Amino acid sequence: MDSIFHEKQEGSLCAQHCLNNLLQGEYFTPVDLSSIAHQLDEEERMRMAEGGMASEEYRTFLQQPSGNMDDSGFFSIQVISNALRVWGLELILFNSREYQSLMINPINEKAFICNYKEHWFTIRKLGQQWFNLNSLLTGPELISDTYLALFLAQLQQEGAGTQQTGHRRGG
């Protein structure tokens, strides 16, 4: 397991660790993710301004903190999704109609990004084996095919967010 990249938790930068563990290298920094968050904030501000910059709704929106990042280093699913698009990867929500309509067997996928109690982490298939690459662990944790389905079901049951990733756009 020495050849498996596993970035350990630093501060509240779990989204960065999640992405880097998924991609198996140091590809994203907090600055990169902050830039994506600011870009999303600006796009949201422009959409809200379309309803009128003098509106109470717009003024209230401007008073609110970013929904894409916070001062602790937590980043939203939108930031993670946009970061993955740089690599031609697309997130599909595990409990979405799209995912359900594909009738995908989790074992046949490449990776899952999970959120449990405001903590992002990656479950990734490397070779023929699954690993929990949670940055809070001391190292990669091997997961059997049987346990993968149970683990994902348990996360869903406990209200955690799970997203499947690995589909390249256009194919």
Residues annotated as catalytic (active site), given as ranges: 14, 119, 134
d(CA 115, CA 18): 10
d(CA 83, CA 141): 25
Q: What are phi and psi of 136, to 5 degrees?
A: -80, -15
